[in-house]
Amino acid sequence: MSSSQVLKFFKEKRDINIHTEPVSAVKEIGILIEESVNVWMDSGDVAAPLLVPPPSPFTTVTEKYKFADWPGTEGVLQLCEKYLRELRAFVSDGQTKGFLTP
């Protein structure tokens, strides 16, 4: 178990959560605003717009929860999924070796 960074991290989080204080995550909010600019071509005496219509402006807001002390880029949900995969593999290995019973 100590060879897995994820299992070790969550074991430490569990200990803190039970014995010290609730564990919290950091919420990151990303805002992307896209806008278009009209481009005009100068053909001598008369400026004419390009025939390609500009895209509509739009805004995208994303939210991601992270553990501030996790060194990776995974958010809380991705990290929990990774933890569960590694925990299942750890338990399966323990059962195969006879250390754990089903």
Domain ranges within the chain, ordered by starting residue: 5-96
What is the per-residue pLDDT across 49-87, written as a single tens digit (0 to 9) for each?
555 666 667 889 999 999 999 999 999 999 999 999 999
pLDDT beyond 80 at 46: no
Tokens 């390609």, located at residue: 52
51 vs 35: CA distance, rounded Å: 18
> Residue 90's Cα: distance from chain center in Å?
24
Can you give the pLDDT at residue 98? 92
Can you give the pLDDT at residue 43? 63
| CA triple 52-59-77, angle to 5 deg | 130
Under 8 Å CB-to-CB from 44, ≥6 apart: which residues? none
